[in-house]
Amino acid sequence: MTIRRYAVEVPKNPIAVTVDLVVFTIRDGELCVLLVRRGIEPYAGRWALPGGFVLRDEGLDTAAYRELEEETGVAAGVHLEQLATYGDPLRDPRGRTVSVAWLALAPALGEPVAGSDAAGASWRPVRVALRGRLAFDHGRILRDGLERARAKLEYTPLATAFCPPVFSVAQLRAVYEAVWDRELDPRNFHRKVTKTPGFLVPTGSTTNADGGRPAQLYRRGDLEVLNPPITR
């Protein structure tokens, strides 16, 4: 048997690894994204997604949760999933940097706290953020995160990640309308979500917080995939 040996070229310049976070929440009925204003170069003064370099002793998910907690003060109870990897050679003027982006969804997050190298942090409506010029390739990452969230609402119960532990169908519908940026027919929506086995579990309690007659309260069931999906 012939054993072939291949020469492996070791890169002369190291490649840095970062995590960037697309953090969505809903505030005043509108889908918002967490942005930080960069306090240092490159792109000083420009809005950007929160994130940072992965430390030597960290895994990717550990770094993502650390950055999330540093910027929002919250780590538990947040849906966090890996979005995509971005490695264009020119994406960072400081040198070759590969970023692993993450999508985070949470209900009613409070005011953000800017990190030590940021000039500020703010929840910005997604429609406003998409019109601006974000630092690096963060505009692309934001668009990818938005499309991922919109698509997953069709075939998974991910919308409940924006809701409190107990919620009404009207509150759930408001999530879909905010993320999809469109109005839904209340009756059709109510029928779809309540007739899908395992999607919602009645709690036996009601609320009249939305006005009108009392509305049934639900919690998320154990369903993982919506079949048929709820289409936009």
User: In CATH, what number is assigned to the domain containing residue 114?
Assistant: 3.90.79.10
pLDDT surpasses 80 at 12? no
Q: Report pLDDT for 108.
A: 74
* Residue 97 DSSP code: E
The answer on 150 and 164 residing in a single domain is no
Count of domains for the chain? 2
6 in a domain, yes or no? Answer: no
The answer on 195 and 94 residing in a single domain is no
The answer on 200 and 169 residing in a single domain is yes
The answer on 161 and 148 residing in a single domain is no
Choose one of 107, 132, 154: the last residue of a domain.
154
Q: Lowest-pLDDT range, 34-38, 115-119, 211-215?
A: 115-119
Gyration radius (Cα) of the chain, Å = 21
What does the pLDDT look like over 133-156, one tens digit per residue? 999 999 999 999 999 999 999 999
24 in a domain, yes or no? Answer: yes
Choose one of 154, 173, 194: the last residue of a domain.
154
Q: What is the mean pLDDT of residues 193-209?
A: 94
The answer on 215 and 190 residing in a single domain is yes
4 in a domain, yes or no? Answer: no
Convert 152-179 to b/e letters by CB count within 10 Å (16 or more is b): bbbebbbbbbbbeeebbbbbbbbbbbbb
Domain with 204, as residue range(s), is 157-220
131 in a domain, yes or no? Answer: yes
Residue 198: CB atoms within 10 Å: 13
Tell me how far apart the alpha carbons of residues 17 and 21 are, in angstroms, rounded to a whole number.
Answer: 14
Choose one of 129, 154, 179: the last residue of a domain.
154
Tell me how far apart the alpha carbons of residues 99 and 92 are, in angstroms, rounded to a whole number.
Answer: 10
Q: What is the mean pLDDT of residues 206-226?
A: 89
Angle, CA of 6, 12 and 14, to the nearest 5°: 110
